[in-house]
């Protein structure tokens, strides 16, 4: 693993450019996959009881077509 900061920053810029050029449908599929992964991780940590101050978030629905 390299710790060259300039190389890391350029890699991040390249990834952002790549993501920006992808079609919206692909971005939404990626979002769905991330949400599924988050739910799986949340389920895996369900063995730890949540206290009364635990943050719980309901994912907001997103629209693919303007209203």
Domain range summary for the chain, segments of one domain joined by +: 5-37
Q: What is the pLDDT of residues 14-67, one digit of tens each?
A: 999 999 999 999 999 999 999 999 999 888 766 555 666 677 777 777 777 665
Pull the structure tokens for residue 58: 């309901």
Q: At 53, is the secondary structure helix, strand, or coil?
A: coil
> Which pLDDT band holds residue 2 (cuts at 50, 70, 90)?
low
According to the model, what pLDDT value does residue 58 have?
A: 78
Tell me the Cα Rg of the chain: 17
Please answer whether residues 62 and 34 qualify as being in contact, where contact means their C-beta atoms are separated by less than 8 angstroms.
no
CA dist., res. 12 & res. 18, Å (int): 10
Question: What does the pLDDT read at residue 66?
Answer: 66
């Amino acid at each position: 693993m390299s710790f060259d900061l300039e190389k890391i920053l350029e890699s991040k810029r390249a990834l952002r450019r790549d993501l920006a050029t992808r079609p919206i449908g692909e971005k939404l599929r990626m979002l769905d996959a991330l949400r599924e992964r988050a739910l799986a991780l949340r389920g895996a940590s369900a063995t730890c009881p949540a206290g009364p101050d635990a943050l719980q978030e309901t994912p907001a629905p997103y629209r693919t077509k303007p209203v």
